[in-house]
Structure 1
């Protein structure tokens, strides 16, 4: 590489670094990149406050993991183990939770609108203020959730019992 090409490469590298630094300082966040964590063992992993839109955690072991305040729109948790995970105030809109284990999972103030949760297990889940609008659930799981449902979601303003169609 000749001297002139090296100079241009250095200048372009510095310019790119400056653009990244300025956009970061101004608070511009690049669009989320969908990631795949399929079949990964991620116990106690910290995903809090992350934008994980359209990512996949199919059959992943996520026991005790923290997804609080994360954007999980369109994420696949198919057959994932979310036992004792923290999903407090997470956006789970249109997620796939089919066959997932949400045993003792904290779903306080989470938004699950439009999620597919057939065959999901919610034993001992904390659902205070969770929004289950248009979530596909098995009748026995719905009845189980209705026994502990309370609160109003602070973002959507919907009552948990109403979104679960509890009588």
Structure 2
């Protein structure tokens, strides 16, 4: 026992502190069918939902900063009060999606399809959106984001 304490234990301690441990990576839900799943009020920073079916799912109040929702199906999903800063929404389908008070600042959404979305109080600062989609969003734009204090119409440059 004395040998273990004198020789093995110090080596074990050195190993634990000097050998890098694998980094924990964000969750990957790519290409899954997650219809009506509850992801509300969660820390989902950097999570991958690429090509995922999230129809009628709730992500309300979640932190999705830097998340990738490329090509995600978000029809009738609840994204109210979400942080979507720096998120990738390119090629995602948002039809009947609730984006009330969401923050999409610096998100990538150029080829995103928006139809009948609720965007009251949403912040679209620095989000590049196709002109045909932008016209539709401007028609529905109203309110002020309670976190950023920015007017939805102003952030869309309507």
Match of 2:85 in 1: 93
Structure 1 moving runs of 4+ over 4 Å: none
Match of 1:61 in 2: 53
1:134 and 2:126 matched? yes
Structure 2 length as normaliser, TM-score?
0.84
- Contact residue 33 and residue 53 of structure 1 kept, 8 A: no
- Contact residue 33 and residue 52 of structure 1 kept, 8 A: no
Match of 2:153 in 1: 161
1:71 and 2:63 matched? yes
Whole-angstrom distance in 2 between the partners of 1:46 and 1:151: 26
| Superposition deviation, residue 34 in structure 1 | 1.1
Q: How many residue pairs are counted as aligned between the two chains?
A: 135
Match of 2:9 in 1: none
| Superposition deviation, residue 119 in structure 1 | 1.1
Match of 2:111 in 1: 119
Whole-angstrom distance in 2 between the partners of 1:45 and 1:33: 22
Q: Which residues of 2 match residues 31-50 of structure 1 at below 5 A?
A: 34-50=26-42
Structure 2: any 5+ residue segments left out of the alignment? 1-23
Structure 1 length as normaliser, TM-score?
0.79
Secondary structure of the residue aligned to 2:93 is coil
Secondary structure of the residue aligned to 1:147 is helix
Whole-angstrom distance in 1 between the partners of 2:79 and 2:26: 19
Structure 1: any 5+ residue segments left out of the alignment? 1-31
